[in-house]
Amino acid sequence: MRCDVWWARPAPATERLLGMLDHIERERYRGYRMEVDRLRFLTGRTLIRAIAGRRLDIEPERVVLDSSCYDCGKPHGKPRVVAGGAPEVSISHSGSLVVLAVVDGAPVGVDVEQIRAAEVDELARMTLATSERQLFAALPANDRRGAFFTYWARKEAVVKATGKGMSIAMTKFTLTAHDEPPRVLSSESSEVDPARVHLADLAPGHDYRASVATIGDEPLSVREHDADDLITALG
């Protein structure tokens, strides 16, 4: 299962990029109070349209996205490209990075996390399964922050691939240790099947952790690309 991963940095809000947003996305864009959040959102939607447009052989402006929540129908769910033969996509952003994962024919989830100041011991108690918490607690204090965000990025990629996001408790499935190749070891959630979830860590650079997950019968093969020039050319 080939997965293409595209990395970008938040782009300036040019007239063309803003013009690609539909009316619902414009409302979401204006709703962010911080400029960096607006620009990350704008860049993510632009990136989806740029790559999907290439796949569908249409202009980015013609790519239609639907972010309806699977549960309530409100437009805050996982984005979907509305077109026959469209690829599956997943988007994430943190700090100065925006990432898009694209797969044909299989659900996909991607997550990037900036390693930042946080009460990781408390967060670990809320997000890690029992055996994961035991391994985490045994780590030297200086290693816990990076380890936690590795776990978090992997787990969020998994729940995003299911399409149900954070409605699936991260404590309901267990992953390999943070310093081992990522894999689901066991699960109490029907949506997370260890035999069908495939995980890979990404290379976001220093002070970040990132992972991608697919659900299917084929092993995962990942290619990472730089999208900054692509976004610049559109703007």
10 and 63 assigned to the same domain: yes
Residues 14 and 88 in one domain: yes
Identify the CATH number of the domain in which residue 130 sits: 3.90.470.20
Whether 64 and 95 share a structural domain: yes
How far apart CA 151 and CA 136 sit, in angstroms, is 10
Q: What pLDDT sits at residue 65?
A: 97
32: containing domain: 1-104+218-235
User: In this structure, are 52 and 28 located in the same domain?
Assistant: yes
82 and 129, same domain (yes or no): no
Q: Which helix (H) or strand (E) holds 229?
A: helix 228-234
Asked whether residue 1 falls in the same domain as residue 41, the answer is yes
Distance CA 165, CA 171 (A): 13
Do both 117 and 159 map to the same domain? yes
pLDDT computed for residue 196 by the predictor: 98
For Cα atoms 15, 18, 20, give the angle at the middle one, nearest 5 degrees. Answer: 115
Give the pLDDT score at 124: 96
Provide CB contacts within 8 A for 144, sequence distance 6+. 120, 121, 124, 136
pTM given for the model = 0.96
Number of domains in the chain: 2
Same domain? 11 vs 75: yes
Contact (Cβ atoms closer than 8 angstroms) between residue 79 and residue 89: yes
Per-position pLDDT tens, the chain of length 235: 999 999 999 999 999 999 999 999 999 999 999 999 999 999 999 999 999 999 999 999 999 999 998 888 888 889 999 999 999 999 999 999 999 999 999 999 999 999 999 999 999 999 999 999 999 999 999 999 999 999 999 999 999 999 999 999 999 999 999 999 999 999 999 999 999 999 999 999 999 999 999 999 999 999 999 999 999 999 8
State whether residue 109 is helix, strand or coil.
strand
Q: Are residues 211 and 222 in the same domain?
A: no
140 and 208, same domain (yes or no): yes
Answer whether 110's CB lies under 8 Å from 100's CB: yes
Q: What is the per-residue pLDDT for 73?
A: 82
Residues 2 and 82 in one domain: yes
Query: Are 202 and 223 found together in one domain?
Result: no
